[in-house]
Chain A
Amino acid sequence: MSDAPRAGLTSWLTTTDHKRIGLLYFYTALGFFFLGGVEALVIRLQLAQPNGHVVSAEVYNQLFTMHGTTMVFLALMPLSASFFNYIVPLQIGARDVAFPRLNAFSYWVFLSGGLLLNASWVTGPLYHAGMLSVAPDGGWFGYANLTERQFSPGPNIDFWLLGLQILGVSSLAAGFNFIVTILNLRAPGMRMMRLPTFTWMTLVTQFLIITAFPVITVGLVFLMFDRFFGTHFYLPEAGGTPLLWQHLFWLFGHPEVYILILPAMGIVSEVLPTFARKPLFGYTVVVYSGILIGFMGWGVWSHHMFAVGLGPIADSVFAATTMLIAVPTGVKIFNWIGTLWGGAIRGTTALHFAVGFIAMFIIGGLSGVSHASPPADLQQTDTYYVVGHIHYVLFGGTVFGLFAGIYYWWPKMTGQLLDETLGKWHFWLQFIGMNLAFFPMHLIGLLGMPRRVYTYGPELGVGQLNLVSTIGAFTIALAMLVFLVNLLGIGRRRRAAPNDPWEGATLEWSVSSPPPVYNFSVIPTIESRLPRWRTERHGPMPDPPAVPPAPIHVPAGSWWPLVAALGIPVMALAPLTHTLWIVFVGAAILLVGIYRWAFEPFEV
């Protein structure tokens, strides 16, 4: 195919355009985000009062497992990915990513993994069970040996481990793609220390992905072999230990939380300067802190294991490293505050979410520091205190940061402005809702309510606090409805977005909203970190001309990333149906896809 079609289903199925792929990630991730949200609401309904009867214990276990897995892997990471895809090439002055077809492949693999995981909600009847019975139910962290065949005989954990392996392939492929893109496809003059902070944080995140995901891959392979081929990696009877799973999982899992937060920190580092009309305070320090967080994130994993009996030396070492990692994070917070200080503040919705991020992340960080102390953590671990912590950092942090990004970049991505009034309503409802939902959890946890249990007795005395938390959750839901109304433009006329609604400093604002398919009619030459602003040493860079001076080749689409991607879930069907030959069918599809991909003429 010589010229990519621009309209119709085929054009979307074969797209290799980073902007389209970014939009695909965005809408898919948003869908999974709402699904995970519904799971949370059911959980909160069940916990709103002691001895709740909304769902059974078995369903509850599936709910919290799927809520966590969905939010981490199908919502937050892909929402970040939608911005990596759409925004990073624009910010570095490139026409696309280094490997556009690999980019498409990543998306289709993500979609198939997400669908496979969630298919488990309804495939119970295929296993002679009811609906809502074979979804993963071992927690998002899947501790062995609960996840072994002996204690989890059904397909639930198989769905989980296969879904995660598939998602890992997607993330790894994207990781290699973005590393090469950011390092190798920058416009002339775009030195590394002139990169927008969001692009820098994206780069660090990709390095974390390509190093952390192989570890969970191995851990999941061991689990799969235990469940299917009679190995004993996590079984004490044969000399193994469930602790191996915990090490492998958290060696991945801790870098994973930095994978979740760094992009949001990058977004905040873009939004604050724009709406304070002031450059980021201490850009260099913020960048180096991000890099440092990436490295140090590898040294803290066993702080998730303070209660398993590692011994005092191990506990102390990890306590120290965990406390240390608060330092570069704190540095960033001061730099953000310094950015706002003395700035000419424009209180847009994006700015509200960015400031909300700072405040909520500080609270989450404080509870995190309390976890860093093993004696304190012995009481906190496995209680709702931790649930409070993770939601302050992941919801108050990542989700708020992502919404800041949505309100900031939606005009660029769609050519439409969101309504600011509705945006403020969204923000305040979400802010109030989140604090109502998650603050009481600190108290609930310290009062002794364990996590991951479907109900609690009235004698624990946490009924009222749980009710408050549930009200908060529904307030968040209301906020999301307001957001949806805004997103869908219900009841108002949509306003077209100009190239640069915010007077931004970075390159994405120099092209139309949405950008032309080739991004830049002429690749700009960069002379400062803030190309579109007037600084002491540089005038603002003129935007590229509206019409390209010479024809620009735009790569064609391709079917093969989609075909190759489909081979992978087909392979996953083999263990799910205990039918070996299916794996060869899937492998054949994958191979055909790869070969056709490798040998088709494709010019970037």
Chain B
Amino acid sequence: MTHAAAIAPRTSLGLDNRKMAFWAFIGSECLLFGSLISTYLVYKGRSVVGPYPHDILNIPFTSISTFDLLMSSLTMVLALAAVQRADMRWGKLWLFATALLGLVFLGGQVIEFTEFVHKGLTIGTNLFGCTFFVLTGTHGAHVAVGVVWLLTLGARALQGKLGPANAMTVEIMGLYWHFVDVVWIVIFTVVYLIQ
């Protein structure tokens, strides 16, 4: 007999499979949002008719949305820390808080989009409308998926099925949520502040 009786290590790089897959996914999403942002930038200033960004973007309102999303990243990471130390009471609380902050952000987007439509900017009005709504809409859709995912995790926690043993699922949720937040950091700067 031989040394072929060896048993495989759990993973070759010592890293969790799901976490690795998720970072690869996030890498891939960089190209997705990168293409959307690139399009926004190359079409900046090329709208033939208004409304134009300076006519319509509401910086104070969006700043509040930005704070909201930043705080949701905080609550997300606090949720993870709580789950990892088996404090499921705070774990549930922070998870639902994150979902709530996410919903607030989405609510803000709905208000903002409705405002814009009333002021004459729809998705088909001009290039600004096209690029703005598709970029922020894609981001918003990602937030919405995140909220559903958070609520699912919250529900699992309420059923007692979430704990430190499967904290990795919360960690991966966190990776997704923080990524959606950093994309917003870029969008806030590039679309709203640099006009």
Please say whether chains A and B are actual partners in one complex: yes
| Interface residue ranges, A against B (CB under 8 Å) | 93-94, 98-99, 172, 175-177, 179-180, 183-188, 190, 210-215, 217-219, 221-222, 225, 229-233, 237-240, 244, 248, 251, 522-525, 541-542, 544-545, 549, 595
Q: Tell me the residues in window 108-139 of chain B with beta carbons closer than 8 Å to chain A beta carbons.
A: 123-124, 126-127, 129-131, 134, 138
Say whether A229 contacts B124, CB under 8 Å. Answer: yes
Q: What B residues does A230 contact at CB under 8 A?
A: 123-124
Say whether B31 contacts A214, CB under 8 Å. Answer: yes
Cα(A240)–Cα(B47), bound, Å: 8
Cα(A542)–Cα(B2), bound, Å: 8
Say whether A225 contacts B43, CB under 8 Å. Answer: no
Say whether A233 contacts B39, CB under 8 Å. Answer: yes
Nearest Cβ on chain A to B149's Cβ, whole angstroms: 10
Say whether B43 contacts A240, CB under 8 Å. Answer: yes
Say whether B12 contacts A210, CB under 8 Å. Answer: no
Say whether A98 contacts B4, CB under 8 Å. Answer: no
A176, A183, A248, A525: the one within 8 Å of B3 (CB): A525
Say whether B134 contacts A232, CB under 8 Å. Answer: no
A-B contact pairs, 5 of them (CB 8 A): A183-B12, A188-B6, A188-B8, A211-B27, A214-B35
Q: What B residues does A180 contact at CB under 8 A?
A: 17, 20-21, 24
Q: What B residues does A214 contact at CB under 8 A?
A: 28-29, 31-32, 35
Identity of the chain B residue whose Cβ is nearest the Cβ of A598 in the assembled complex = B152
| Interface residue ranges, B against A (CB under 8 Å) | 2-9, 11-13, 15, 17, 20-21, 24-25, 27-29, 31-32, 35-36, 39, 42-43, 46-48, 123-124, 126-127, 129-131, 134, 138, 152
Q: What B residues does A219 contact at CB under 8 A?
A: 35
A239 in contact with B35 given A187-B8, A542-B4 (CB within 8 Å): no
Say whether A218 contacts B5, CB under 8 Å. Answer: no
Say whether B124 contacts A523, CB under 8 Å. Answer: no
Q: What A residues does B27 contact at CB under 8 A?
A: 210-211
Nearest Cβ on chain A to B25's Cβ, whole angstroms: 6
Say whether A99 contacts B17, CB under 8 Å. Answer: yes
Cα(A280)–Cα(B92), bound, Å: 56
Say whether A231 contacts B134, CB under 8 Å. Answer: yes
Q: What A residues does B24 contact at CB under 8 A?
A: 175-176, 179-180, 210
Say whether A232 contacts B130, CB under 8 Å. Answer: yes
Cα(A425)–Cα(B15), bound, Å: 49
Q: What A residues does B36 contact at CB under 8 A?
A: 218
Nearest Cβ on chain A to B2's Cβ, whole angstroms: 5
Say whether B12 contacts A184, CB under 8 Å. Answer: yes
Say whether A183 contacts B39, CB under 8 Å. Answer: no
Nearest Cβ on chain A to B125's Cβ, whole angstroms: 9
Identity of the chain A residue whose Cβ is nearest the Cβ of B169 in the assembled complex = A598
A524 in contact with B130 given A99-B17, A210-B28 (CB within 8 Å): no
